[in-house]
């Protein structure tokens, strides 16, 4: 898919669909784990509930920045994630 203003518009319009939007969030998070100088997890196909604490923090960090080293955002978001995990 070519990166043009038309493509960006089409994606923006598709993101208005809640189901598409939720699917894309998951893909963006997975992309964040598997791109950059190093892969944050050894097997991107493994189930998310098998991810290590470090992999999850790295995923949150990468979602919010281009950093590979876990930052404050990754730490804080991980703590929120733990709260949500209790209610799934």
Domain carrying residue 11: 5-86
Instruction: Give residue-wise pLDDT tens across range 15-63.
Output: 888 888 878 877 777 766 666 555 555 555 666 667 789 888 888 888 7
Domains of the chain: total: 1
Question: 70 with 57: CB under 8 angstroms?
Answer: yes
Q: How far is CA 46 from CA 34, 51, 55, 73, 83, in A?
A: 12, 8, 12, 24, 22
**Most confidently modeled of 14-23, 31-40, 63-72, 75-84?**
75-84
Q: Distance between the two ends of the chain, CA-based, in angstroms?
A: 35
């Amino acid at each position: 898919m070519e990166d043009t203003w038309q493509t960006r518009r089409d994606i923006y319009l598709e993101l208005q669909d809640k189901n598409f939007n939720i699917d894309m969030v998951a893909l963006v998070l997975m992309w964040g784990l598997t791109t950059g100088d190093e892969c944050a997890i050894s097997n991107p196909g493994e189930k998310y509930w098998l991810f290590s604490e470090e992999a999850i923090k790295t995923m949150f960090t990468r979602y919010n920045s281009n950093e590979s080293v876990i930052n404050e955002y990754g730490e804080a978001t991980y703590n929120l994630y733990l709260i949500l995990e209790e209610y799934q």
